[in-house]
Structure 1
Amino acid sequence: MSDFKENIATFARQFVPSYRFIRTHESTLDNSHKLQTELNHHSIKVLNWNIAKNNFEKTWFKDFYRILRQYQPDLIFFQEVRMGVGVEQIIGLTNFSWAYAPNFIDAHHQTYSGILTASNVSPVSKKAIVTKHYEPLVNTPKVSLITEYSLSNHRKTLLTINSHLINFVDINKFKTQLQEIELALSTHHGAIIFAGDFNTWNRQRAILLDKAITKLGLKSVEFATQESKKIKRFLLSPPLDYIFYRGLTEKPASAKVLDEINSSDHKPLLAEFSYVDM
């Protein structure tokens, strides 16, 4: 592992200027124009997708609008989203409330990079969790974004967390990020959706994620065998992308992986839930 780290550091010094990637001071950026205030508890459609910073590309727009038309998601969890510095709106999301948690600024392109959660309702609250550790090469942290939503005809709320887990670091730093997320979710006793790119490209990482999910009482959305094979992997690794949930009922046959979408190296994941107050 030490040789690997030294090689990464050497590459960084040779090819990535130290001033290229700047850590950002903004915890969240958002656009919360007035929409309905409650999610329909009978049907909560979820889209989870690492879009690989392609949201300025025409092919990505075409794919995204097709998904919006066909599946009409209520909650959208994006990872690796680019956003122009000083820009107040993200094209394609004008009809959504969204919160954006950047983890760095690309000084060359004058863009943020980060994760984004969008919804067709306005959130009750939002909070970003930035990792204590940094990834090598770009020397920037990873970020998770918690948003909370009201549910129709219920006093309890739905808590969602959109995460991109840290990569190219030793397993203890990966574990630390999971523990930070566990702590943030542990105080919420209602329904939860936990989605993102978990970078579980080896067995050690997958085991740690499974332990965290079990501790929080979450379940993984069940994709049919043929659907599961379409989810992004690294060689023969476990899947990298997941949707976990608690306190909700997964609608039968709703879990889909959109294999025909090619504007990112990750495939969009879809699921639908309903909420019954027990």
Structure 2
Amino acid sequence: MFKKRYYTLRYQASSEVELILPNQPIIGNKPLIEHTSFSILVWNIFKQKRSDCIDILQQYADKAKLILLQEAQTTPPLLNFISQYNKIADHVPAYCFNDIYAGVMTISDSLPTSLFSFREKEPLIRVPKSALITIYPINHSKQQLLVANIHAVNFSIGIKIYRQQIRMLLTRIKEHNGPVILAGDFNAWSKQRVDLLYNLVRSIELKPVSFSVDIRKKFMGRPLDFVFYRGLRLDTAEIISTTTSDHNPLLVSFRLDLHPQY
């Protein structure tokens, strides 16, 4: 059953892993955002190759309402972290090796009301990359927060598949009437990719988060990790310097926009 293309795996404390299929009803009544301000952590965790990466997650477990991971693997240390801090983790495996699933994972304190999973094969190496959209209730609001977590395709000649993957995600985002966060490892290492990415996100009125001290992971002189947003006010944005991954985590704080315009 795990061969169904669009499944998502859910991990929770004291629960068996749950297989979420497309269009499966989800009952999520607890608002993720209780107050006007909240923080997110965005991080390519480098397949947990360095054991002390879990220490970083523990440091920010109570500070970040959302943790968006790329290259997350369902290893015992990560699953123990989810259980220990009573988190809910939705995981879109790109591939499986030795019974360990790897892909994007969005960790939160509340169940999403709906989710959409995406996979796109790398054109050259044929190993997929994954992406995930989760939608969460906001306290005292009819609107909901859409959160998109992406690990973009990397090894390709030209940008056809890169464009296809991002457009597929943005098509869903465009339909959403409410605040939006789009974040992850975009592998935007060429001018073609950067230009395409910025043109696409601008087309649906997403704004980029800037960092005053920019120590994001770079390749060919260009940063790979981004956070884009809409319908929110940016409070603070910082990058955490660490040797526990080949990427540095992005920590961004937002404030709900009480008078948004879409």
Kindly indicate whether residue 261 of structure 2 is the aligned counterpart of residue 277 of structure 1: no
Kindly indicate whether residue 113 of structure 2 is the aligned counterpart of residue 129 of structure 1: no
The question of whether the paired residues in 1 share the 8 Å contact of 2:147 and 2:180 is answered with yes
Tell me the TM-score normalized by structure 2. 0.85
2:231 to 235, 238, 247: 247
The question of whether the paired residues in 2 share the 8 Å contact of 1:52 and 1:264 is answered with yes
Aligned to 2:41: 47
Matches of 1:277 and 1:32 in 2, distance apart?
32
Aligned to 1:235: 220
Identical residues among aligned pairs (%): 29
Tell me the TM-score normalized by structure 1. 0.80
Matches of 2:51 and 2:122 in 1, distance apart?
32
Aligned to 1:119: 108
Q: CA RMSD in A?
A: 2.2
Matches of 1:276 and 1:51 in 2, distance apart?
30
Tell me by how many angstroms 1:257 deviates. 0.3
Where does the alignment leave 5 or more consecutive residues of structure 1 unmatched?
1-21
1:152 to 115, 139, 143: 139
Matches of 1:58 and 1:35 in 2, distance apart?
35
Question: What amino acid maps onto 1:81 in structure 2?
Answer: A
Alignment: residue pair count: 240
Tell me by how many angstroms 1:36 deviates. 4.0
Kindly indicate whether residue 177 of structure 2 is the aligned counterpart of residue 189 of structure 1: yes
Question: What amino acid maps onto 1:217 in structure 2?
Answer: E
Tell me by how many angstroms 1:183 deviates. 1.1
Tell me by how many angstroms 1:197 deviates. 0.1
The question of whether the paired residues in 2 share the 8 Å contact of 1:32 and 1:122 is answered with no
Question: What amino acid maps onto 2:246 in structure 1?
Answer: D
Matches of 1:187 and 1:102 in 2, distance apart?
25
Alpha-carbon distance change, 110 to 32 in structure 1, aligned in 2, over 3 angstroms: closer
Question: What amino acid maps onto 1:216 in structure 2?
Answer: I
Give 1 or 2: higher strand fraction.
2
Where does the alignment leave 5 or more consecutive residues of structure 2 unmatched?
14-27
Tell me by how many angstroms 1:64 deviates. 2.2
Kindly indicate whether residue 192 of structure 2 is the aligned counterpart of residue 201 of structure 1: no
Tell me by how many angstroms 1:188 deviates. 0.6
Pick the structure with greater CA Rg: 1
Kindly indicate whether residue 148 of structure 2 is the aligned counterpart of residue 161 of structure 1: yes
Tell me by how many angstroms 1:246 deviates. 0.2
Question: What amino acid maps onto 1:42 in structure 2?
Answer: T
Aligned to 2:51: 58
Alignment of 1:37-116 (within 5 A): 37-54=31-48, 57-68=50-61, 72-84=63-75, 90-94=79-83, 95-106=86-97, 109-116=98-105
Aligned to 1:6: none
The question of whether the paired residues in 2 share the 8 Å contact of 1:23 and 1:103 is answered with no
Matches of 2:240 and 2:12 in 1, distance apart?
28
Alignment of 1:162-177 (within 5 A): 162-170=149-157, 171-177=159-165
Tell me by how many angstroms 1:172 deviates. 1.1
Matches of 1:203 and 1:129 in 2, distance apart?
25
Question: What amino acid maps onto 1:134 in structure 2?
Answer: E
1:215 to 203, 206, 211: 203
Kindly indicate whether residue 244 of structure 2 is the aligned counterpart of residue 263 of structure 1: yes
